């Protein structure tokens, strides 16, 4: 399985950094905005460069960000990568599909609690696009998870979720989906199947190679295409 690591070999992240919409607050750990010259931003830029060359240019428009276990940084990677894509002028949608313990809201803080994915999946009268927060910064939109729910597996296995992902993939240049830990439920596997492609995040001194291989095999057996792994050092 190919592996990407945080390195200095990447496109320059010195592009003009836009100011976030006044009501949205970005955490300091969103490095392409908070510290664009940092090694963390450089590493995210390297991953962005690789994905543009090896994923987007092949016509692929979606990616589930998955981890075999908790604590590896899938939300960190998803939010930073989505911001980096947006800064490169790529129309990006970040989706928090962790319906058990949503995390994106803690890194990209909305002004008020928005309706999110869980509300959309439970309410047939809601439009998907009323739940998406458009232009959080230029080219970046966010679909928050919404309220945590007691039946996430059923909602994520529904035709409504699959169709929502298909609509998003059609309408955005890249859709990045944050997922819950793979060893805690089957949610990440269901999401990856709907999204079609998966990037597995590991963390130095936290992840075990055997666990990553087992998780990759599970995703592939479900017919999600694993495009590689990313070793998160931060």
- In CATH terms, the fold of domain 3-7+26-232 is Rossmann fold (3.40.50)
Q: What are the sequence ranges of the domains in the chain? A: 3-7+26-232
Instruction: Show the beta-strand stretches assigned E in the chain.
Output: 3-5, 25-26, 62-67, 92-96, 108-109, 133-137, 140-143, 174-178, 197-203, 225-232
pLDDT of residue 233: 86
pLDDT of residue 22: 61
Sites in the chain below the pLDDT cut of 70: 1-22
pLDDT of residue 20: 52
Kindly report the pTM of this predicted structure.
0.90
């Amino acid at each position: 399985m190919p592996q990407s690591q945080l390195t200095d070999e990447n496109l320059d992240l010195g592009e003009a950094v836009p100011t976030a919409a006044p009501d949205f607050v970005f955490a300091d750990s969103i490095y392409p905005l908070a510290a664009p010259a940092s090694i963390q931003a450089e590493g995210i830029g390297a991953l962005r460069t690789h994905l543009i060359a090896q994923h987007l240019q092949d016509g692929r428009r979606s990616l589930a960000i998955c981890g075999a276990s908790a604590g590896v940084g899938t939300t960190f990677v998803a939010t930073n990568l989505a911001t980096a894509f947006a800064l490169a002028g790529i129309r990006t949608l970040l989706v928090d599909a962790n319906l058990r313990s949503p995390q994106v809201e803690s890194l990209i803080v909305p002004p008020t609690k928005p309706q999110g994915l869980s509300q959309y999946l439970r309410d047939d009268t809601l439009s998907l696009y009323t739940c998406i927060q458009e232009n959080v910064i230029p080219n970046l939109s966010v679909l928050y998870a919404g309220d945590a729910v007691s039946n996430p597996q059923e909602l994520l296995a529904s035709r409504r979720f699959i169709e929502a992902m298909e609509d998003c993939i059609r309408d955005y240049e890249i859709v990045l989906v944050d997922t819950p830990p793979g060893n805690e439920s089957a949610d990440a596997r269901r999401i990856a199947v709907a999204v079609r492609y998966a990037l597995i995040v590991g963390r130095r001194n936290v992840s075990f190679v055997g666990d990553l291989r087992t998780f990759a095999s599970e995703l592939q057996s479900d017919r999600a295409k694993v495009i590689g792994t990313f070793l998160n050092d931060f």
